[in-house]
Amino acid sequence: METLSENRCCGGVQGVYRHESTVTGTPMQFSVYRPPQAATGAGPVPVLWWLSGLTCTEENFTTKAGAQRYAAQHGLVVVAPDTSPRGLDLPGEHDTYDFGSGAGFYVDATQEPWSRHYRMHSYITEELPVVIGEHFSVDMTRQGIFGHSMGGHGALVLALRHPARYRSVSAFAPIVAPSRVPWGEKAFTGYLGEDRAAWANYDATALVADSDWRTPILIDQGDADTFLGTQLTPELFVEAAQTAGVPVTLRMQPGYDHSYYFMATFMGEHIAHHARLLAI
């Protein structure tokens, strides 16, 4: 693992790192915030994973969300991976913002040429946790996950598919039913092919019906979000979760849009949500 930068922040350390991924076959960057508690010798601290949205890298969240202050308050390590492999220059990879570079959708692609590198589900659930566990003092028995938009989709999917791994999940403006909206239909067709049955493995609204997840899910959504009715459709997930007996709270926030201003406003409440569940 290569250290790209480390800076003191809120009594802890905000770092950016890079390693050679065998899962994606590329170098991968990620950020880690270590709170003051991680340096006191009190033992491993819980880890909270953040998944970013379309066009983002690990930097957007690290520099804009203001999460470090709250992570320091609650004693949480926060890990933010990139949103796709980088440096491949596959045909069409950089042509649009919602497919390819910066738009991995946290799936394991099955279609060529994406299947050889676009394996973000396995990268985040299998490979990166090993790297984090080897290099940082974290308690892997206490993991939470949250994200925004495409990353909110990823956080919900990973939690629902791996309920024994994560204790907490929340999301900002998540794409909850990607099989039924343009962003998801485009990405899933490209990465997974035309078989919509395969898409259900990465669709939170489909997964929640049979998931063993039972801890409270928190979702914040701005009512001035221009993507609300066409790409996000949170009511579909809420209805499916309630039918399945999965506790979910959807908070519609008046006047808020899809930006990091929205996320920064409610970041403290989301991290507190995770801290309560990770303390159990």
The residues assigned a catalytic role are 149, 225, 258
User: Which residue from 262, 131, 109 is spatially nearest to 199, judged by alpha carbons?
Assistant: 109
Q: Which residues pair with 248 in a beta bridge?
A: 217
Question: 264 with 65: CB under 8 angstroms?
Answer: yes
Count CB atoms within 10 A of the CB of residue 244.
16
**Amino acid identity, residue 99?**
F
Backbone angles phi, psi at 115, to 5 degrees: -65, -20
b/e burial code for range 152-191 (CB count within 10 A of at least 16 → b): bbbbbbbbbbeeeebbbbbbbbbbbbbebbebbebbbebb
- As a whole number of angstroms, the distance between CA 155 and CA 212 comes to 15
**Amino acid identity, residue 210?**
D
Write out the two tokens for 193: 């092919």
Question: Residue 150: in which H helix or E strand, if any?
Answer: helix 150-161
